[in-house]
Amino acid sequence: MSHRELNELRAQVDEINVKLLELLNERARIVEKIGEYKRSAGMLDVYDPKRERESFEYLTRRNQGPFDDEMIKNIFKQIFDESSELQKRQRI
């Protein structure tokens, strides 16, 4: 691979990074609405392990790689944790 090709691939990665960023923030805005509901319903704990387990199962069933299921779980666990954090912050 040439240096020029490397730069082209990195430009593609940069573009996808921005798309992921936009999707993550779109997701976060929905998570905030869910957080708002939990607060109004008096739900004390924002963390919902059953829901997260179901999401992991759904995602690993649909996973076609090259990320393996463990990697996908790690990535999404971070997203779920930060989403719970966002919902906790709404309560401060």
With respect to ligand ISJ, which residue has the nearer C-beta, 10 or 51? Answer: 51
With H, G, I as helix, E, B as strand and everything else as coil, classify residue 67: coil
With respect to ligand ISJ, which residue has the nearer C-beta, 31 or 73? Answer: 31
Least distance between ligand ISJ and beta carbon 29 (Å): 11
- DSSP letter for 22, please: H
Cα 37–42–46 angle (5° rounding)? Answer: 65
* Residues engaged in binding ligand ISJ (CB under 6 A): 31, 34, 46-48, 51-52, 55, 80, 83-84, 87
CB 54 within 8 A of CB 79: no
With respect to ligand ISJ, which residue has the nearer C-beta, 69 or 79? Answer: 79
